[in-house]
Amino acid sequence: MAVLAAFFFGVMAVDCNRFVVRRYKCKSQILRKDGRIILLSDLHNKSFGAGNRRLFAAIEKLAPDFILIAGDMYTSQTGGETSTAKDFVCALAAKYPVFYGNGNHEQKTKLFPEQFGRMYVDYVKEIKKAGVRHLVNEKVYLPDFNIDIYGLEIGREYYGKFKKTQMETDYLERTLGKPDKGKFSVVIAHNPDYFAAYAKWGADLVVSGHIHGGLMRLPVLGGVISPSIKLFPKFDGGMFREGKSVMILGRGLGTHTLPIRIFNPGELVVLELSR
């Protein structure tokens, strides 16, 4: 038993301090030209080397056209810091177009300033100053690619534990408006559990995080547990399809609360878009 425990602790120690590159492909005739996207999520202030130099070097080697961030780059911890995430995101923005959608941790620090002070306000101010397009229920158009990028922030009620809150049928249209069917609609949506609603709304591509790959991954069964305390979640990481919509769910890079990653290293996602 002691040997088995030592083995799992060894795997966890390694997986919490490494990341892998995973690649996906997505095709659409709506696109104006091919492109390469990097997807980042759930860094939670993790550093892969001083200043995240290992992560930054891997991104440089991949030479993306732009970067999508699907939230939770820092952790909503009272008295916590955001400088690790801020410095990394700002460094990326100095070299690449960066589009950032909030996760539940950014959202929490925004909604409860009495607990977190100016954590959110100061963080957003700095990343915007660096050139990051921070999208909170708004969109930006990339004419070279014919892409609309939406940053979706859903209500905190949709992050409840144990029981999933049903999303109202018109919620996304009220929040984001109607998608333009003549453009390729990319939705940065931190929570993947509502993929069916995103697809019904009209998203061509959804990029998500939040699940951390299920903390521990098992052969065949996949991720073990989600942040909503659901065992073997349907959406744990990878590519999923719903009608004409595709979702790329990143397994994240860091940890919080339970610093666990077993057979589940951090993940740097590369998405190749083509006509």
Please give the residue that has the higher pLDDT: either 117 or 2: 117
Residue 116: per-residue pLDDT? 97
Q: Tell me the average pLDDT across 220-245.
A: 92
* Whole-number pLDDT of residue 149: 99
225 contact partners, CB below 8 Å, separation of at least 6? 214, 215, 216, 231, 232, 233
What is residue 48's predicted lDDT score, i.e. its pLDDT? Answer: 97
Residue 59 has which token pair?
Answer: 């991104």
Q: How far apart are CA 113 and CA 82, in angstroms?
A: 15
Mean of the per-residue pLDDT values of the chain: 95
Proportion of the chain above pLDDT 90, given as a percent: 85
User: What is the average pLDDT across 32-53?
Assistant: 98
The number of CA neighbours under 13 Å toward the Cβ of 200 is 11
Task: Calculate mean pLDDT across residues 199-220.
Answer: 95
Domain covering 2-274: architecture: 4-Layer Sandwich (3.60)
Report the relative pairing of strands 266-274 and 184-189 from DSSP bridges: unpaired
Residues 48-83: pLDDT tens digits?
999 999 999 999 999 999 999 999 999 999 999 999
| pLDDT given at position 41 | 99
Taking 70 as the threshold, does the pLDDT of residue 5 lie above it? no
Q: How many CB atoms lie within 10 A of CB 76?
A: 23
Cα separation of 57 and 253, whole Å? 15
Annotate the chain with three-state secondary structure: CHHHHHHHHHHHHHHCCCEEEEEEEEECCCCCCCEEEEEECCCCCCCCCHHHHHHHHHHHHHCCCEEEECCCCCCCCCCCCCHHHHHHHHHHHCCCCEEEECCHHHHHHHHCHHHHCCHHHHHHHHHHHCCCEEECCEEEEECCCCEEEEEECCCHHHHCCCCCCCCCCCHHHHHHCCCCCCCEEEEEECCHHHHHHHHHHCCCEEEECCCHHHCEEECCCEECECCCCCECCCCCCEEEEECCEEEEECCCCCCECECCCECCCEEEEEEEEEC
8 pLDDT exceeds 80? no
Q: What pLDDT score does 4 carry? A: 67
Each residue's pLDDT tens digit, 134-187: 999 999 999 999 999 999 999 999 999 888 899 998 999 999 999 999 999 999
How many whole angstroms from its chain centre is CA 186? 13
Strand partners, 27: 274
Residue extents of the structural domains in the chain: 2-274
